[in-house]
Amino acid sequence: MQNLLGIIDSAIQWYNDYIGGYLILAMLIPTGLWFMFKLRFINLTRIGHAIKVVQGKYDVKGAEGDVNHFKALTTALSATVGTGNIVGVALAIYLGGPGAVFWMWVTGLLGMMLKYSEVTLAQKYRKFNSDGTVTGGPMYYMEFGLRHKLGRWAKVLALVFASATVLCSLGTGNMAQSNSMADALQTSYSIPVWLSGGIITALVLLVIVGGIKRLGEVTSRLVPFMAIIYVAAALVVIIAEYDHIPRAFAMIFEGAFTGTGATGGFVGSTFIMTMIWGVRRGLFSNEAGQGSAPIAHAAARTKYPAREGVVALLEPMIDTIIICTMTALMIIVTDAWQSGVKGVGMTVMAMNTGLHRFGIDGMGGHIITLGILLFAFSTIISWSYYGSRAAIYLVGEHAVKPFLYVYALFVFFGSVWGLDIVWHFVDMVITFMTIPNLIALLLLSGVVVRETKAYFSAMKEMKTK
């Protein structure tokens, strides 16, 4: 069994190193730049409007959908604010050096545009199920939005994306998260991975059988709480090492273009590896362009597709620009990135080092473990919804219950499998979702532009009345 897993892992690594990583680079950044210029930098100019929408200022009674803007945002955020913010950032710096953080920022800024575009399309092409609930996402805007351009190939593209979403739900949103939870509990409290895996699996099942409305109730409470706790702790560490902050930023900007600290890849390709690892972990963190968040946002109650798109702008900003930056600075200012420790251990070391300045010893592991548990659990329950919507598209509504039980089984698998193969699998299946989705976004860019103009024209008219 171990030999078979080794062969599979080697094949996955080869794909990630020589195909997937470069394909993502070649498509993600240019597509994000295209939408940024095409839509006149609304990722920077419409943040205030987005916050007002989330606060409910533009809510309309009787609008169709399952949840309000805030719950749609927190459900999507709970899927993106996960172990990528703690473990993923540490891995990016371990493999790509401090410069990888710069490319995570780039992915975040461009990701705001990609999130806006894909969520707007998901709202426009969503459909209602027989029980009145909403189903939407890239598979629907691929099939119905691209029919006139691609003919029967539009359906093929949608099927590829939906199949990849099911795989990704088992990898990105499931095994990677339960693996990190079990690893953190074993490291901090010596709890066997099989035991923590069983408990996590049972808790997940209790929540996910309730559907999007229960997910919205849970995540709307869990996400703000976990984000505030983690960011506050990281901020304490950064303040404790305030004299190293200028040096940290210098290392990030210098390393972004020189590849300082990067490892792996072709000889002399340290700059490319820095970029790849920054983009790869940035994408894993905020999922912009991957096409996952539109599945949650499609359920929002709104009159205008672009209004929910504006809400989605906030996700990469909160996830990557704020939370990931806190983790990265904490690791760099404490020099934990040079320790040789890999994964969550690097983040724990950074927090312990910073808190030691205040005479607080041994708390870093507890705080990081709590953060991982809350972040990862919310990601697992949200990705169960994404996977189930994809299963509905592929097989029908009767597939939901069987999928959820299989999904729960993979929670346990992720807990007991090795770290490396889980993360390698995650990186592979992300490309299977992202590449078809970016193709669809480019082909439907005209629709996004029209919906944007129509929405902001309507907003302008409302202000003049």
Q: Give 10-residue mean pLDDT values along the chain (465 residues).
A: 76 84 82 92 88 80 65 70 76 83 87 93 86 84 92 93 92 83 82 91 81 60 74 88 91 80 47 68 72 86 87 87 90 88 82 82 80 83 88 89 92 80 78 91 95 89 65
Q: What is the pLDDT of residue 372?
A: 80
CB 281 within 8 A of CB 84: yes
Q: What is the pLDDT of residue 181?
A: 85
Q: What is the pLDDT of residue 342?
A: 75
Whole-angstrom distance, CA of residue 211 vs CA of residue 407: 14
pTM of the model: 0.83
Q: What is the pLDDT of residue 266?
A: 36
Question: Nearest CA to 385 among 132, 160, 212?
Answer: 212
Q: What is the domain partition of the chain in residue ranges? A: 11-454
Q: What is the pLDDT of residue 133?
A: 73
Q: What is the pLDDT of residue 269?
A: 43
Q: What is the pLDDT of residue 67?
A: 67
* Pick among 3.10.450, 2.60.120, 2.60.40, 1.10.4160: CATH of 11-454: 1.10.4160
Q: What is the pLDDT of residue 371?
A: 80
Whole-angstrom distance, CA of residue 340 vs CA of residue 202: 35
Tell me how many degrees the CA angle 446-449-451 measures, rounded to the nearest 5: 110
